[in-house]
Amino acid sequence: MSTITQEIVKARYDLRDEDSTQYTDAMLVDYYNRSIDALAVFLAKIKSDLVFADTTSTITSGDNYVALPNLFASPIAVEIDDTPLFKKETRQIKKWQQDSSSGTPEFYGIHKLNLVFERAVSEDTSVYIQYNEKATELALGDSMPYNNDLNNVIRSAVVMLGKNRNERDITGNYGLHSFYEQAGLTNIIRRSWESRINLGY
Protein backbone atom coordinates (compact mmCIF):
# COMPACT_ATOMS: atom_id res chain seq x y z
CA MET A 1 0.00 0.00 0.00
CA SER A 2 1.30 3.42 -0.94
CA THR A 3 1.50 6.01 1.83
CA ILE A 4 0.61 9.68 1.66
CA THR A 5 4.31 10.43 2.21
CA GLN A 6 5.20 8.54 -0.97
CA GLU A 7 2.39 10.21 -2.88
CA ILE A 8 3.57 13.66 -1.79
CA VAL A 9 6.93 12.98 -3.47
CA LYS A 10 5.08 12.32 -6.73
CA ALA A 11 2.92 15.42 -6.30
CA ARG A 12 6.04 17.54 -5.74
CA TYR A 13 7.42 16.27 -9.06
CA ASP A 14 4.24 17.32 -10.87
CA LEU A 15 4.34 20.68 -9.09
CA ARG A 16 8.04 21.12 -9.98
CA ASP A 17 8.83 21.46 -6.29
CA GLU A 18 11.27 18.61 -5.76
CA ASP A 19 13.39 20.82 -3.49
CA SER A 20 10.38 21.56 -1.26
CA THR A 21 10.69 25.33 -1.52
CA GLN A 22 7.10 26.20 -2.51
CA TYR A 23 5.00 23.73 -0.52
CA THR A 24 5.54 22.38 2.97
CA ASP A 25 4.59 18.81 3.82
CA ALA A 26 1.79 20.19 6.01
CA MET A 27 0.33 22.13 3.08
CA LEU A 28 0.35 19.08 0.81
CA VAL A 29 -1.16 16.85 3.50
CA ASP A 30 -3.94 19.44 3.83
CA TYR A 31 -4.46 19.40 0.05
CA TYR A 32 -4.62 15.59 0.11
CA ASN A 33 -7.21 15.57 2.90
CA ARG A 34 -9.33 18.21 1.15
CA SER A 35 -9.16 16.26 -2.10
CA ILE A 36 -10.05 12.96 -0.42
CA ASP A 37 -12.95 14.55 1.50
CA ALA A 38 -14.42 15.90 -1.74
CA LEU A 39 -13.81 12.56 -3.45
CA ALA A 40 -15.74 10.71 -0.72
CA VAL A 41 -18.73 13.00 -1.35
CA PHE A 42 -18.47 12.36 -5.09
CA LEU A 43 -18.25 8.59 -4.58
CA ALA A 44 -21.39 8.67 -2.43
CA LYS A 45 -23.13 10.66 -5.15
CA ILE A 46 -22.45 7.95 -7.74
CA LYS A 47 -23.32 5.21 -5.19
CA SER A 48 -19.85 3.67 -5.21
CA ASP A 49 -19.23 0.73 -2.91
CA LEU A 50 -15.90 2.32 -1.94
CA VAL A 51 -17.68 4.51 0.63
CA PHE A 52 -20.35 1.95 1.59
CA ALA A 53 -20.45 0.80 5.21
CA ASP A 54 -22.94 -0.98 7.42
CA THR A 55 -23.41 -1.79 11.07
CA THR A 56 -25.96 -3.09 13.55
CA SER A 57 -26.70 -0.98 16.63
CA THR A 58 -29.04 -1.45 19.60
CA ILE A 59 -31.77 1.00 20.55
CA THR A 60 -32.04 0.77 24.34
CA SER A 61 -35.50 0.08 25.77
CA GLY A 62 -37.30 3.38 26.42
CA ASP A 63 -35.13 5.34 23.96
CA ASN A 64 -36.14 6.83 20.62
CA TYR A 65 -32.61 7.36 19.29
CA VAL A 66 -29.28 5.64 18.73
CA ALA A 67 -25.83 7.14 18.14
CA LEU A 68 -24.69 7.43 14.53
CA PRO A 69 -21.75 5.22 13.51
CA ASN A 70 -18.27 6.72 13.45
CA LEU A 71 -17.47 8.43 10.11
CA PHE A 72 -21.18 8.49 9.19
CA ALA A 73 -21.73 10.81 6.22
CA SER A 74 -25.23 10.06 4.89
CA PRO A 75 -27.83 7.29 5.21
CA ILE A 76 -28.51 4.64 2.59
CA ALA A 77 -30.99 2.39 4.41
CA VAL A 78 -32.23 1.72 7.94
CA GLU A 79 -34.03 -1.51 8.88
CA ILE A 80 -35.57 -3.16 11.93
CA ASP A 81 -36.29 -6.90 11.64
CA ASP A 82 -35.56 -6.68 7.89
CA THR A 83 -38.28 -4.06 7.49
CA PRO A 84 -37.12 -0.76 5.93
CA LEU A 85 -37.79 2.45 7.83
CA PHE A 86 -38.76 5.59 5.94
CA LYS A 87 -36.64 8.73 6.26
CA LYS A 88 -38.52 11.83 7.36
CA GLU A 89 -37.55 15.42 8.03
CA THR A 90 -36.18 15.75 11.58
CA ARG A 91 -38.74 18.39 12.63
CA GLN A 92 -41.54 15.97 11.76
CA ILE A 93 -39.89 13.16 13.71
CA LYS A 94 -39.54 15.43 16.76
CA LYS A 95 -43.20 16.43 16.49
CA TRP A 96 -44.32 12.79 16.32
CA GLN A 97 -42.19 11.95 19.35
CA GLN A 98 -44.46 14.14 21.50
CA ASP A 99 -47.55 12.05 20.74
CA SER A 100 -46.35 8.53 19.95
CA SER A 101 -46.63 5.57 22.29
CA SER A 102 -43.75 3.10 22.51
CA GLY A 103 -43.44 0.35 19.92
CA THR A 104 -41.52 -0.49 16.77
CA PRO A 105 -40.44 2.62 14.81
CA GLU A 106 -41.48 3.08 11.19
CA PHE A 107 -39.65 6.34 10.49
CA TYR A 108 -36.25 7.83 11.20
CA GLY A 109 -34.40 11.10 10.88
CA ILE A 110 -30.96 12.49 11.71
CA HIS A 111 -30.44 14.95 14.55
CA LYS A 112 -26.90 16.05 15.37
CA LEU A 113 -24.98 12.84 16.18
CA ASN A 114 -28.01 10.59 16.51
CA LEU A 115 -30.40 8.57 14.41
CA VAL A 116 -33.83 9.48 15.82
CA PHE A 117 -37.15 7.64 15.58
CA GLU A 118 -40.76 8.76 15.89
CA ARG A 119 -41.39 6.52 18.92
CA ALA A 120 -39.43 4.91 21.75
CA VAL A 121 -38.92 1.16 21.72
CA SER A 122 -40.42 -0.95 24.49
CA GLU A 123 -37.47 -3.37 24.56
CA ASP A 124 -33.87 -3.41 23.38
CA THR A 125 -34.12 -3.39 19.58
CA SER A 126 -31.49 -4.07 16.93
CA VAL A 127 -31.35 -1.61 14.03
CA TYR A 128 -29.38 -2.31 10.84
CA ILE A 129 -27.83 0.77 9.22
CA GLN A 130 -26.32 1.15 5.76
CA TYR A 131 -24.53 4.43 5.19
CA ASN A 132 -21.92 6.33 3.21
CA GLU A 133 -18.68 6.79 5.12
CA LYS A 134 -16.61 9.94 5.49
CA ALA A 135 -12.92 9.85 4.62
CA THR A 136 -10.47 9.37 7.48
CA GLU A 137 -8.10 12.30 7.88
CA LEU A 138 -4.57 11.29 6.88
CA ALA A 139 -1.23 12.21 8.42
CA LEU A 140 2.27 11.64 7.10
CA GLY A 141 3.03 7.92 6.94
CA ASP A 142 -0.62 6.84 6.70
CA SER A 143 -1.72 4.50 3.90
CA MET A 144 -3.71 5.92 1.01
CA PRO A 145 -7.43 5.04 0.90
CA TYR A 146 -9.51 3.10 -1.63
CA ASN A 147 -6.99 0.28 -2.16
CA ASN A 148 -4.70 2.67 -4.07
CA ASP A 149 -7.17 2.59 -6.99
CA LEU A 150 -7.58 6.37 -6.99
CA ASN A 151 -4.09 7.59 -6.12
CA ASN A 152 -3.52 9.14 -9.54
CA VAL A 153 -6.77 11.09 -9.64
CA ILE A 154 -6.28 12.25 -6.03
CA ARG A 155 -2.75 13.42 -6.87
CA SER A 156 -4.09 15.30 -9.90
CA ALA A 157 -6.57 17.09 -7.63
CA VAL A 158 -3.77 17.96 -5.20
CA VAL A 159 -1.65 19.35 -8.03
CA MET A 160 -4.61 21.44 -9.20
CA LEU A 161 -5.01 22.88 -5.68
CA GLY A 162 -1.29 23.64 -5.49
CA LYS A 163 -1.13 25.35 -8.89
CA ASN A 164 -4.28 27.34 -8.21
CA ARG A 165 -2.78 28.58 -4.96
CA ASN A 166 0.19 30.02 -6.84
CA GLU A 167 -2.25 31.69 -9.20
CA ARG A 168 -4.19 33.06 -6.20
CA ASP A 169 -7.24 31.05 -7.26
CA ILE A 170 -8.84 29.41 -4.23
CA THR A 171 -10.44 26.13 -5.29
CA GLY A 172 -13.39 25.13 -3.13
CA ASN A 173 -15.24 21.84 -2.85
CA TYR A 174 -17.38 22.70 -5.88
CA GLY A 175 -14.24 22.94 -8.00
CA LEU A 176 -13.03 19.57 -6.71
CA HIS A 177 -16.40 17.93 -7.40
CA SER A 178 -16.33 19.29 -10.95
CA PHE A 179 -12.80 17.98 -11.36
CA TYR A 180 -13.84 14.46 -10.32
CA GLU A 181 -16.86 14.53 -12.61
CA GLN A 182 -14.68 15.54 -15.55
CA ALA A 183 -12.12 12.87 -14.64
CA GLY A 184 -14.84 10.29 -15.30
CA LEU A 185 -13.73 7.68 -12.76
CA THR A 186 -15.13 4.96 -15.01
CA ASN A 187 -13.42 2.19 -13.05
CA ILE A 188 -15.36 3.21 -9.94
CA ILE A 189 -18.66 3.44 -11.79
CA ARG A 190 -18.10 -0.10 -13.08
CA ARG A 191 -17.71 -1.39 -9.50
CA SER A 192 -21.32 -0.41 -8.76
CA TRP A 193 -22.75 -1.39 -12.15
CA GLU A 194 -24.86 -4.54 -12.41
CA SER A 195 -25.02 -6.38 -15.73
CA ARG A 196 -28.44 -7.20 -17.12
CA ILE A 197 -28.99 -10.31 -19.20
CA ASN A 198 -31.31 -9.80 -22.16
CA LEU A 199 -33.72 -12.74 -22.06
CA GLY A 200 -35.54 -11.58 -25.18
CA TYR A 201 -38.80 -10.65 -23.50
When pLDDT is averaged across residues 182-192 and rounded to a whole number, the result is 56
Asked if the model's pLDDT at residue 137 lies above 80, the reply is yes
C-alpha–C-alpha distance, residues 10 and 69, integer Å: 34
Q: What are the percentages of helix, strand and coil residues in the chain, rounded to 5?
A: 40, 20, 40
DSSP three-state, residue 108: strand
Least confident interval from 12-21, 126-135, 174-183: 174-183
C-alpha–C-alpha distance, residues 50 and 63, integer Å: 32
Per-residue pLDDT, 178: 76
When pLDDT is averaged across residues 147-159 and rounded to a whole number, the result is 92
Q: What is the percentage of the chain residues whose pLDDT exceeds 70?
A: 85
- How far does CA 191 lie from the centroid of its chain? 16
Domains of the chain: which residue ranges? Answer: 4-48+135-190, 51-133
Asked if the model's pLDDT at residue 199 lies above 50, the reply is no
Per the model's pLDDT, the better-predicted residue between 185 and 48 turns out to be 48
C-alpha–C-alpha distance, residues 33 and 135, integer Å: 8
